[in-house]
A and B are shown apart, each in its own frame.
Chain A
């Protein structure tokens, strides 16, 4: 670690890092699909963030800043190792840690399985915007792309994820959704994706 930078970081900076750790872990897990790898990544990011503390602009979004560091570090790592994240058949794809005894748990298990089969870009945009509440603008900055690209990826990710789930599964999850509604929803998502790309 760059000791001088770490020591120079303000108390608020340290607190912000500590508060972000759970979010960093969740984002890292979504990228790596591996618990140990994700935690190693988070450790590296904490050290890097402290070393680069003077590059953070106070008043801007700290979480987006460390997410950007994490994402860049992950993809640099991937490029260096010339490896790809695990394939969709990789047995290391995480299983939700829930007893599959209730219908809701079965729904969730199926959802997770479908989610982990998505490609990297789709997983990350769903986690950033869908689960983490990051705005489109922030997600675009984190991912180094245009806002329209984020919207397009999000729409396609959603369509792909829904497509990996059975209509019965989603219909069971949402009593209002009939099979016809399911078809409409899927078409709407596809239409939205097309619109977003234009």
Chain B
């Protein structure tokens, strides 16, 4: 699942927080290297998060989802 991903891809770094309004995780008082580390750090975190979020759902959850869909009120 992860082998095809580019860990440096920007969308992975911020996935799924495109709407993020928080400040940078660390006050940036130092050199540009700090930004580089920040980006690398966030990319790793995003990849870690995305790996789980993108995993196929287990049977139990799929069954539960099917039940939810069946009971879903018609809108």
Give min CB distance, A115 to chain B, whole Å: 6
Hey, which chain A residues are within 8 Å of B54, CB to CB? Answer: 22
Categorize the interface residue count of chain B.
35 or more
A9 within 8 A of B: yes
Hey, which chain A residues are within 8 Å of B21, CB to CB? Answer: 135
A78 within 8 A of B: no
Q: Do A184 and B26 have beta carbons less than 8 Å apart?
A: no
A2 within 8 A of B: no
Q: Give the contacts of B53-69 with A (CB-CB under 8 A).
A: 53-55, 57-58, 60-61, 64-65, 68-69
From DSSP, what is the main secondary structure of chain A's interface residues?
Answer: helix
B11 within 8 A of A: no
Q: Give the contacts of B11-47 with A (CB-CB under 8 A).
A: 14-23, 25-34, 36-37, 39-42, 44-47
Chain A residues at the B interface, C-beta cutoff of 8 Å: 6-7, 9-12, 14-15, 17-18, 21-23, 25-26, 29-30, 39, 42-43, 46, 50, 96-99, 104, 107-108, 111-112, 115, 126-127, 129-136, 139, 154-155, 158, 161-162, 170, 173-178, 181-182, 184-185, 188-189, 191-192, 195
Closest 9 CB pairs of A and B: A133-B17, A11-B75, A133-B20, A131-B49, A181-B33, A22-B53, A174-B36, A26-B52, A111-B44
